[in-house]
Structure 1
Amino acid sequence: MQELAAKGMAAQITPPPITRTDVDKVLARQKATVSKKDLELYTRFTREFGEEG
């Protein structure tokens, strides 16, 4: 992109649109980022101390 920008051609390049199918594919491969143990700790903490917005 930087090379194209230097030549004044970057504006001619547009990425393809993201479709619902693209999102579904990503979600199918996505792994959890928080463990069940961490969620249990959060739930217990929230029950005990409440939740501040």
Structure 2
Amino acid sequence: MRIVANSFTSFTVKFTNSSAIALISAIFLNVFVLFVIRIYLRNSADQPIFIRGVHPGS
């Protein structure tokens, strides 16, 4: 069990060192996309202007 834990720890450290930046950026990108989609869906549900395709900013 100790050998499995040591190999898993070394693998985790190696994986984190090799792709920590890519992993963090991917997580932040997913969170950002979900956040934007949720805001857009909530706005479109509250305001029929979005459903008609006429944005208030344009």
Indicate the structure with greater helix content: 2
Q: Fold match, TM over 0.5?
A: no
Higher relative contact order (CA 8 A, sep 6+): 1
Q: TM-score category by the smaller chain? A: 0.3 to 0.5
TM-score of the superposed pair, with normalisation by structure 2: 0.37
TM-score of the superposed pair, with normalisation by structure 1: 0.39
